[in-house]
Amino acid sequence: MAGDLKKKSIFAKLGGQKFIVLLVVIVLFTFFSIASQDFRKYTTVLNIFDFSYYIVLMAIGVTFPLITGGVDLSIGTGLICYSLAGGYLVVHLGWPTGLGLLVSVLFGILIGFANGVLIAVMGLPPFLATLCTCMITRGLGSICSKGFGISWPTTGAPGSWFRSIFKMQIGGTKIPIGFIWILIIVAIMAFVLNHTKIGRYTIAIGSNKEAAVLSGINVKFYHIMAYVISGFFAGLASIAYAAVFPTVQPGTGAGFELEAIGGAIIGGVSATGGAGSIEGTLIGVFVICLLKTGLPFVGLQANWQQIITGLVLIAAVLVDIIKKRREAK
Amino acid sequence: MDKIKQNPIVKKLGFNRIVLVFVILLMYTLFCVATGGNFAGLPRILSALNYAYFLGFLSLGVTFVIATGGIDFSIGPVMFCAALISGYSLTSLGVPMGLALLISVFVGFCFGLFNGYLVAYWSVPPFIVSMASMNIAKGVASVFTKTQSVSWPQLAAGGWFRQLVKIGNFPVGLVIFVLVAIVCALLLNKTKPGRYILCLGSNREAVRLSGVNTKKWEMLAYVICGVLVGIAAIFFVGAYTTVQPGYGDQYNNEAIAGCVMGGTSMAGGLASISGTVIGVFIIALLQEGILALGFTKDYQLIITGIIVIVAVYADVVARRRKN
Amino acid sequence: MGEVILTMNDIDKSFPGVHALDHVHFDVNRGEVHALMGENGAGKSTLMKVLTGIYTKDSGTIEFEGKEVEFHNAREAQDAGVVIVHQELNMVGHLTVAQNIFIGREFKKGFRIDDKKMNEEAAKLFKRLNIDIDPTATMSDLTVGKQQMCEIAKAISHEAKVIVFDEPSAALTESEIAELFKIIRDLREQQLGIVYISHRMDEIKVITDRVTVMRDGGYVGTLITKDCTKDDIINMMVGRVIYEEPKTKSLVPDDAPVVLKVEHLNAGKMVRDVSFELRKGEILGFSGLMGAGRTETARAIFGADPKESGDIYINGKKVEINSPEDAVKNGIGYLSEDRKRFGIVVQKTIAENSTLATLEKYMKGIFINKKKENEVTQKYVDSLATKTPSIDQLVVNLSGGNQQKVVIAKWLVRDSEILIFDEPTRGIDVGAKNEIYKLMNRLAAEGKSIIMISSEMTEILRMSDRIIVMCEGKVTGEIGIEEVSQEKIMNMATREIS
């Protein structure tokens, strides 16, 4: 039956890049564990999980624009903006926490929709449109909170229930149950990407937009949807961020998008669109998170992580490009 | 309207540029009226000029990159990186002032080379390269300065480089900026590299099939951009003294805004240095005006963002109409 | 053979300046394979585009299943059961075969796309067509031939009653063609009407029942395939009156030296072991059908695409050409068939385009010597009689013929000794054509050596001193202008290659 296929290597059967990246995660973890005693502690593992949630969520969302061949640079500053807006309502205006969180998510969807319209309908280059919304959300966030940091209710205080969404205290131990939610979300979004029209057409737009148009697909709608999903997940990420960090500071958030986009691309999303998977993105993000948490344990300041993330991103894209050049020959 | 556009003098100067100059005058008048004449004073003008210098160099630089049809939004953080590395060398490592200024330009050059090489020779999408460079620049600067901010010396403490910005109240910086802009204009319009950069931005394949090494010239555009970013760093510290690691992103957008407002097309192949210069002054005046009206920096971000969107959309519409 | 399913009567269509279809008649029966033949530009594709509503006809009627119809777009035609399998593939490489076949009309189970059902349906379809393709395979992993089969399957899955194959075999290998023919025969069994557009004479004889020949937008005639010979068809295709005088004698002196020698050039599938010589002052015509590998050969010689093997000698000396840069240094100039994409920078001025390949000669220190640049541009605008208000005019504002002159000027400014003209008069009106011809003759007389790739027979016969014919990436014939005839060229261009 498969005689007409080009032969697939064992490597490809194991999931290709995803498999290799998973190995990298394991190797990194082992390396840090051997190199540093402190890294081996349970609290470190808890930290890795804590600091991964918001990046994973952003990365899952941004996977969709990336697969269409675009990008969403507004997710990092956007996350902070949504959290500030929702938090202001809760902390200063006394809204119930749940409503505040809902506002955060809706705000994310709104900005995502704006990005989608700028790109799919008005025809602006994706990086430029989202670079602008990146700056705009940075300004908006600061205006929403009047320039001050926002401290969502701390653990134990009334209305702090959302903090235990991600970390539950059972007996004396803290359980990172957030990871379970993440796995569920990954499963749902993998389903969306692979088994629904939204996912299918997202891939079609990134792979061969012309063919998608000729097949009678409402390309503009699905193109916008990719950015709405990205915005929605930036909104969810803002909840995860608020739940983990005591205070949300205006003016921060730039650079988060690199960690998310970098994670997605390391996990096998093609920088030129058309291909990618949610599972891959999840694994890719953990490479970034491990580096971020682990490097200080081996004596490298946190700033090295920025440099290394940048270089790893370039390396991941180069691997993709070299692979394609080989195939073309 | 068409009659005005056909007027030979108007044609020579460029209709759009004339409109933009009027926009500057109008904005200036509006700000003066809105602030009750407060804006008209020399301090405000000098302050706006300070802003225009470093932004101007960034904008000039990115004009070359956009002319090739690419983009570089690592310029803001790279400028900070250059200022931090050279400043740290000066204040903590005892490097002489002259050399420190050269280091700044060299740091910009290195990033330009890195970006250009990846884009031109490896076809890495420019936005990926920008994103990576932006973070590498921030990281390198932080590591180099051990996450400390750096303050450049005042004039009295041996900071002679400040005379590049102004002597007394005389805006030396303006003279230098205009001179550099003229050099850029000559480079872009009257020399071989400029000709090739513009042509390859318009139709890369036709230029390659004319026997031109397009990769080399495309990379050069990023290198020119890098060098100008290094110069921008000098003017930034000349005006604002202190730089902190981890910042600089917002200037990307402002620099690109100056560039696209001046008529440089995001699609590549069409670029105007004089347009960029005028665009930069509009942006600088706007930033200053927003502050003078009592708004915070946040409004600057939002308004600049909207301006870029509108300017780029205008370009998209103009191109659609042509086809 | 069943009753008539589709009739196109008296179809007329004009574009500005061109009478593309001149009262054409065409019909297809159920259970028939009907070939539509003609040279490039004879009007076959236009006729099919009128059929499927991509173009609107000026007059005439289309009857489908006994009713008069008018489709407004490909989708409407598809829904009615008239589909085209295009020469270019329109597939989403990252999706699977089944996902591609049903894209835009997926089966659903609630939110979920029912991939299982799609795979089953695709498998059924393939079974009906007797094709061995895994519906779950990723499209980009398939060979071009298999992708073509998927396009066919997609077409049939629309409940097609009439299928138009537009040169389906162009990208297929021998065994894939055999498989394609098997499918076509099966479809004929199932009483579908099939239109088969192809240049390959041998295929026509094997697979079709009737042949309709078109020439210059007009209907020539219809033959029963088994009652006619290959020569009959060729005669119908080329039997036009030639207004221009063909060249009768080579103008190249016998002792003219060889300036370019290409030996055993290989580059991809379309350039297989190509060898030839070009002499000084010669116009060497490259004839052949679309997709014969002529442009690919030119691009490989010019270094625009990588080559696998082969040697190039210029004036007897072996040269290494790995990029257009090398080629230009060695005095070769290339005028692409696609001027807008590969020839000119349309948003720049005539002057800027003219010196694009030679800029270093027009420098004064580090600056471009605008005065010298303008002088040389003006010189060539005058000598080539380019019609333009000024040399500062943007090239985008010029007509096709004048744009071509700008490209020629670019290489003349460079003083290139060897010029490759790829379809030099495509998209150029008749008057300007003659000017380009005169110009080429003048250049040859001045000692330039010219390779002219052309799909127009009259152009080849009128201009060439010698003709090389290619087919499927190989040189299938070489013939001097003295003994040439259209029939001979057509025979070589359709020669079967084993």
- Which helix (H) or strand (E) segment holds residue C29: the answer is strand C18-29
Q: Which residues of C touch A5 (CB under 8 A)?
A: 134, 137, 141-142
Cβ-Cβ contacts under 8 Å for C96 (sequence gap 6 or more): C135, C136, C137, C138, C139
Between chains, do A128 and B129 touch, taking CB under 8 Å as contact?
no
Of all residues in chain B, the one with the smallest CA distance to A132 is B305
pTM: 0.88
**Residue C305 and residue C206 share a domain:** no
Report the C-alpha gap between C458 and C489 in whole angstroms. 12
**Residue C216 and residue C355 share a domain:** no
Domain CATH code at residue B218 = 1.10.3470
| pLDDT at site B85 | 97
Q: Which chains touch C (3 or more CB pairs under 8 A)?
A: A, B
pLDDT confidence bin for C488, thresholds 50/70/90: confident
Q: Angle at Cα C472 formed by Cα C466 and Cα C477, nearest 5°?
A: 25
- Which helix (H) or strand (E) segment holds residue B208: the answer is helix B192-208
Q: Which chains touch A (3 or more CB pairs under 8 A)?
A: B, C
Of all residues in chain B, the one with the smallest CA distance to C298 is B209
Q: Which residues of B touch A318 (CB under 8 A)?
A: 122, 124
**Structural domain contains residue A289:** no
Backbone angles phi, psi at B214, to 5 degrees: -65, -35
- Cβ contact C48:C84 at 8 Å: yes
Q: Which residues of B touch C367 (CB under 8 A)?
A: 186, 190-191
Q: Is the dihedral of CA A290, A292, A294, A298 positive or negative?
A: positive
Report the C-alpha gap between A29 and A16 in whole angstroms. 21
> Does A127 score more than 80 pLDDT?
yes
Q: CB distance from A73 to chain B under 8 Å?
A: yes
Domain boundary residue, one of C177, C208, C238: C238
**Average confidence (pLDDT) over A26-31:** 92
Name the A residues in 211-230 with CB < 8 Å from any C CB: 211-212, 214-217
- Cβ contact A239:A108 at 8 Å: no
Q: How far apart are the first and last CA of chain A?
A: 26
Q: How many domains, in total, are found in chain B?
A: 1
Task: Let me know if C319 is exposed, middle or buried by CB neighbors in 10 A (0-12, 13-18, 19+).
Answer: middle
Residue tagged 């409407």 (tokens): C76
> Does A132 score more than 70 pLDDT?
yes
Between chains, do B211 and C352 touch, taking CB under 8 Å as contact?
no
User: In this predicted model, what pLDDT tens digit does every residue of A260-296 receive, in sequence order?
Assistant: 999 999 999 988 889 899 999 999 999 999 988 888 8
**Residue C373 and residue C271 share a domain:** yes
- Between B and C, how many residue pairs show a Cβ–Cβ distance under 8 A? 70
Bridge-based pairing of strands C67-68 and C59-64 is antiparallel
The amino acid occupying position B219 is M
Question: Other CB atoms closer than 10 Å to residue C195's CB: what's the count?
Answer: 25
Q: Which residues of A touch C90 (CB under 8 A)?
A: 208, 210-211, 214
**Residue C145 and residue C192 share a domain:** yes
- Cβ contact A72:A257 at 8 Å: yes
Both structure tokens of C183: 């499918």
| pLDDT at site C498 | 37
Percent of chain C at pLDDT exceeding 90: 47
CA dist C191 → C31, C35, C219 (Å): 4, 16, 26
Report the C-alpha gap between A118 and A291 in whole angstroms. 35
Between chains, do B250 and A131 touch, taking CB under 8 Å as contact?
no
**Structural domain contains residue B8:** no
**Residue C160 and residue C267 share a domain:** no
**Average confidence (pLDDT) over C383-396:** 89
Composition of chain B by helix, strand, coil, percent to 5: 80, 0, 20
**Structural domain contains residue B9:** no
| pLDDT at site C435 | 85
Q: CB distance from A148 to chain B under 8 Å?
A: no
**Structural domain contains residue B248:** yes
**Structural domain contains residue A143:** yes
pLDDT confidence bin for B2, thresholds 50/70/90: low
User: In this predicted model, what pLDDT tens digit does every residue of C62-87 receive, in sequence order?
Assistant: 999 989 998 887 778 888 889 888 77
Between chains, do A4 and C133 touch, taking CB under 8 Å as contact?
yes
**Does residue A317 or residue B9 have the better pLDDT?**
A317
Name the B residues in 143-162 with CB < 8 Å from any C CB: none
Coil, helix or strand for C278? strand
> Does A16 score more than 80 pLDDT?
no
pLDDT confidence bin for B184, thresholds 50/70/90: very high
- Which helix (H) or strand (E) segment holds residue C5: the answer is strand C4-15
Q: Which residues of A touch C115 (CB under 8 A)?
A: 195
Both structure tokens of B14: 């460029």
| pLDDT at site C497 | 47
> Does C398 score more than 70 pLDDT?
yes
CA distance A184 to chain C (A): 17
Cβ-Cβ contacts under 8 Å for B104 (sequence gap 6 or more): B82, B83, B85, B86, B230, B231, B233, B234
Q: Which of the residues C94, C127, C139, C141 would you substitute to probe the A interface, choosing the one with the greatest number of A C-beta atoms within 10 Å? A: C94
CA distance C142 to chain A (A): 6
CA distance B296 to chain C (A): 42
CA distance C111 to chain A (A): 6
- Which helix (H) or strand (E) segment holds residue C363: the answer is strand C363-364
**Structural domain contains residue A168:** no
Between chains, do A208 and C134 touch, taking CB under 8 Å as contact?
no
CA distance B295 to chain A (A): 10
Report the C-alpha gap between C393 and C307 in whole angstroms. 38
Between chains, do C113 and A195 touch, taking CB under 8 Å as contact?
yes
Q: CB distance from B183 to chain C under 8 Å?
A: no
pLDDT confidence bin for A4, thresholds 50/70/90: very low
Q: What does chain A come to in residues? A: 329
Q: Which residues of C touch B191 (CB under 8 A)?
A: 366-368
Domain CATH code at residue C202 = 3.40.50.300
**Structural domain contains residue C251:** no
**Structural domain contains residue C318:** yes
Q: How many domains, in total, are found in chain C?
A: 2
Q: CA B55, B57, B58, B60: dihedral to nearest 10 degrees?
A: 120
Between chains, do C370 and B190 touch, taking CB under 8 Å as contact?
yes
For residue C466, list its beta bridge partners. Answer: C284, C480
Q: How many domains, in total, are found in chain A?
A: 1
> Does A200 score more than 80 pLDDT?
yes
Q: CB distance from B269 to chain C under 8 Å?
A: yes
User: In this predicted model, what pLDDT tens digit does every residue of B278-289 receive, in sequence order?
Assistant: 999 999 999 989
**Structural domain contains residue C250:** no
CA distance B161 to chain C (A): 30
Backbone angles phi, psi at C68, to 5 degrees: -75, 135
For residue C13, list its beta bridge partners. Answer: C21
**Does residue C254 or residue C449 have the better pLDDT?**
C449
**Average confidence (pLDDT) over B40-66:** 92
Between chains, do C113 and A274 touch, taking CB under 8 Å as contact?
no
Between chains, do A4 and C99 touch, taking CB under 8 Å as contact?
no
Residue tagged 């059967």 (tokens): A13
- Cβ contact A253:A130 at 8 Å: no
**Structural domain contains residue A225:** yes
User: In this predicted model, what pLDDT tens digit does every residue of B230-288 receive, in sequence order?
Assistant: 999 999 999 999 999 888 888 999 999 999 999 899 999 999 999 999 999 999 999 98
Alpha helices by DSSP H, listed for chain A, are 10-13, 17-35, 42-67, 75-91, 97-116, 126-144, 178-195, 197-214, 219-244, 256-266, 278-294, 302-328
Ranges of beta strands (E only) in C156-208 are 162-166, 193-197
Q: How far apart are the first and last CA of chain B?
A: 23
* Angle between the N-to-C axes of helices C430-445 and C400-413, in degrees from 0 to 180, rounded to the nearest 10: 20
- Between A and C, how many residue pairs show a Cβ–Cβ distance under 8 A? 68
Of all residues in chain C, the one with the smallest CA distance to A188 is C112
Q: Across the beta sheet with C193-197, what order do the strands follow?
A: C67-68, C59-64, C4-15, C18-29, C218-224, C210-215, C32-37, C193-197, C162-166, C82-85
**Residue C262 and residue C209 share a domain:** no
**Average confidence (pLDDT) over A166-194:** 90
Between chains, do B308 and A318 touch, taking CB under 8 Å as contact?
no
Cβ-Cβ contacts under 8 Å for A231 (sequence gap 6 or more): A61, A72, A74, A75, A78, A108, A109, A110, A111, A112, A113, A115
The amino acid occupying position C155 is A
CA distance A274 to chain C (A): 6
For residue C394, list its beta bridge partners. Answer: C349
Q: Which residues of C touch A3 (CB under 8 A)?
A: 132
**Does residue B192 or residue C242 have the better pLDDT?**
B192
Pick from A7, A141, A25: which is nearest to A86 by CA? A141
**Structural domain contains residue A84:** yes
For chain A, state the CA radius of gyration.
Answer: 20
**Structural domain contains residue B297:** yes
| pLDDT at site C240 | 52
Report the C-alpha gap between A13 and A6 in whole angstroms. 13
**Residue C293 and residue C231 share a domain:** no
Range in B27-36, B66-75, C267-276 with the lowest mean pLDDT: B27-36
**Does residue C327 or residue C251 have the better pLDDT?**
C327
> Does C290 score more than 60 pLDDT?
yes
- Cβ contact A22:A286 at 8 Å: no
**Structural domain contains residue B2:** no
**Structural domain contains residue A261:** no
**Residue C121 and residue C42 share a domain:** yes
Backbone angles phi, psi at B51, to 5 degrees: -70, -40
**Structural domain contains residue A186:** yes
Pick from C155, C475, C111: which is nearest to C284 by CA? C475
Q: What does chain B come to in residues? A: 323
ipTM over 0.90: no
**Structural domain contains residue A97:** yes
**Average confidence (pLDDT) over A53-80:** 96
Q: What does chain C come to in residues? A: 498
| pLDDT at site A1 | 35
Domain coverage including residue C446 = 258-493
**Residue C288 and residue C168 share a domain:** no
Out of C328, C344, C359, the one facing B206 most closely (by C-beta) is: C344
For chain B, state the CA radius of gyration.
Answer: 20
> Does A80 score more than 90 pLDDT?
yes
Average pLDDT, chain C: 88
Domain coverage including residue A102 = 41-154+173-253
Between chains, do B312 and A128 touch, taking CB under 8 Å as contact?
yes
**Residue C297 and residue C201 share a domain:** no
Between chains, do B209 and C334 touch, taking CB under 8 Å as contact?
yes
**Residue C222 and residue C82 share a domain:** yes
Please give the distance of CA C41 from its chain centroid, rounded to a whole number: 9
**Residue C419 and residue C365 share a domain:** yes
Range in C69-78, C108-117, C308-317 with the lowest mean pLDDT: C69-78
Domain coverage including residue B90 = 14-322
Q: CB distance from A208 to chain C under 8 Å?
A: yes
CA distance A289 to chain C (A): 29
| pLDDT at site A7 | 46
